[in-house]
Structure 1
Amino acid sequence: MPAALTIGDFSRATQLSVKTLRHYHRVGLLEPADVDAGTGYRRYTTEQIPTAQVIRRFRDLDMPLDHIHAVLEAPDLRKRNELISAHLVSLEQTLAQTQSAVASLRDLLAHPSTIAPVSHRRVDATMTAAVTAVITMGDLVPWYLGALGELHATLEARGIRPSGPTGGIYAGELFSDERGQATVFVPTATEIPRLGRVEPVVVPAAELAVVEHAGSLADVDRAYGTLAEYVASHELRLDGPIREYYLVGRQDTADENGWRTEVSWPIFSTGAAA
């Protein structure tokens, strides 16, 4: 019969605090072997130490408690390994995002005054195939990826070649209120029939102040900042949605360093050179 331990001794044996052990009991993750009905004292057994050690290591890897519970209750080794592998993939993705953010911050600190050139451009009204929705800022990336894939798949199925670079139009409310209208479009030579979310949309003509951003969209805010400063200082700003044109994007290469994105701010042009 395994030896019994008080919650204090079990805490010392597993390096999990008493407060943590009580919480794990409440949520059903690690229940004591016995709870005294009169005093409420919890007692554990030495056989529970390995389980506590496994839980502690999963928590060191930021695995949520419900995921840990699913791992411990997995019906077989295959399912347990699948759950663990899924969490490791998530950790690797988070690490890659952190490394990208660190690199971006270092570049910003090393080159704080780097300013991309701003140009003026008039674009004519353009027929496009587009997907439009009201979304939250948190859903922007997955929505964009889904819309982009649907657009290109629809055009390819119809044998239609894009007549220009893919673009996006983003309402000001998406930035200010974290919820607003977004449109992803692909220029087409002729109007296409509607299919699913893809519909024909005429992107209106506009006068734009344009700056090109090279590389990942993770630090595209630097291009936005450059444009905002330029437009404000020249008193050219007009109310209207921001446009992005993806000259070279994820549909062209998986190498983010090769991406080139034009960020465009609607302006009232005076005809002066930028």
Structure 2
Amino acid sequence: MHTGLTVGEFSRVTHLSIKTLRHYHDVGLLAPADVDRGTGYRYYSLDQVPTAQVIVRLRNLDMPVADVRAVLAAEDVSTRNDLITAHLARLEDRLAQAQSPVESLRDLLARPAHGSAIEYRTVREQPAIGIRELVDRQDVVSWWQGALGELHGFLTARGLRPTGPMGGLFASELLQDERGEALVFVPVDGAARPVGRISTVVVPGAELAVAVHRGPLQTIDLTYADLGTHTTRHEIGVAGPLREFYLRGPLDLADEHAWVTEVGWPIFRSNG
């Protein structure tokens, strides 16, 4: 005679369906306390109710079955808590990654209909130090951050004086073909001996249509779109790298919403 709970009774107690309980048995999460060899009926003990409740909560947090199994098998509280904490950290990272596109969409919906204010500017060529490489589009942000930090460290170590804000030049192929040349540079006053990836460069002059982007890089495509629309509509766009000037960036402010970037689009502008 069995004194445990039938699968139906245990289902009512735990709010887990019979189908789910059978699945948890099959995958090794929650085996019945006893299985009748003659009938195959499954019986659970009341001591298994807290285990079932833990499983429900971990699965509600999208913890994989293998990880839930590891939590239940943990021999001590510390190991169990480490496993749960690691999963919560992954959830927080996933939430943070989802938050950025949500904010980006909100920014797009809240933008004024007229878009960015655009001015025309003549930029003279500048001696600078820089890092120039062929970069895959998917890697460009991490590459850009590393290059900025490396240039900043070089400036500090050599005591060089910037003559303008840090900037970047990005070939059209980087967007069109997902791989292209990128240059991050700092205009400097005085010669500098090349070291590693850092070399002396001359940033070419250009005629630019310029708009100011305020905020994180995730939404800078909106400013580029305003410039591209403007130059196409007025038939003044020309071939050439896109240009950025970092008036306030990650080296100045940790809060990316306070960053200020000037974006330049190459144009034809007659002197007359």
Given the two structures, how large is their TM-score scaled by the length of structure 2? 0.74
Query: 1:154/1:11 Cα in 2 relative to 1: closer, same or farther (>3 Å)?
Result: farther
Partners of 1:201 and 1:70 in 2: how far apart? 56
Query: 1:156/1:207 Cα in 2 relative to 1: closer, same or farther (>3 Å)?
Result: same
Query: 1:130/1:65 Cα in 2 relative to 1: closer, same or farther (>3 Å)?
Result: farther
Uncovered stretches (5+) of structure 2, i.e. residues with no partner: none
Q: CA deviation at 1:265?
A: 1.1
Q: Which residue in the other structure is 2:257 paired with?
A: 257
Q: Which residue in the other structure is 2:164 paired with?
A: 164
Q: Which residue in the other structure is 1:132 paired with?
A: 132
SS in 1 for 2:251: coil
Q: CA deviation at 1:231?
A: 0.8
1:38-72 deviation line (CA, Å, top 9, x unaligned): xxx99796677656654553443345566656666
Query: 1:197/1:3 Cα in 2 relative to 1: closer, same or farther (>3 Å)?
Result: farther
Given the two structures, how large is their TM-score scaled by the length of structure 1? 0.74
Q: Which residue in the other structure is 2:153 paired with?
A: 153
Partners of 1:220 and 1:55 in 2: how far apart? 43
Q: CA deviation at 1:258?
A: 2.4
Q: CA deviation at 1:10?
A: 8.1
Q: CA deviation at 1:164?
A: 1.5
1:113-137 deviation line (CA, Å, top 9, x unaligned): 0422211222222222222333333
Query: 1:115/1:84 Cα in 2 relative to 1: closer, same or farther (>3 Å)?
Result: same
Q: Which residue in the other structure is 1:247 paired with?
A: 247
SS in 1 for 2:130: strand
1:160-215 deviation line (CA, Å, top 9, x unaligned): 23221111222223223333332222222234223233232322222211111122
CA contact (8 A) 1:215 1:257 kept: yes
SS in 2 for 1:220: helix
Query: 1:161/1:20 Cα in 2 relative to 1: closer, same or farther (>3 Å)?
Result: farther
Q: CA deviation at 1:84?
A: 3.8
SS in 2 for 1:229: helix
Uncovered stretches (5+) of structure 1, i.e. residues with no partner: none
CA contact (8 A) 2:227 2:265 kept: yes
Query: 1:3/1:172 Cα in 2 relative to 1: closer, same or farther (>3 Å)?
Result: farther
Partners of 1:194 and 1:152 in 2: how far apart? 14
Describe how 1:1-274 pairs up with structure 2 within 5 A.
13=14, 15=16, 30=29, 53-63=53-63, 77-78=77-78, 80-271=80-271
1:66-115 deviation line (CA, Å, top 9, x unaligned): 66566667676545544544443444444445445434433432434042
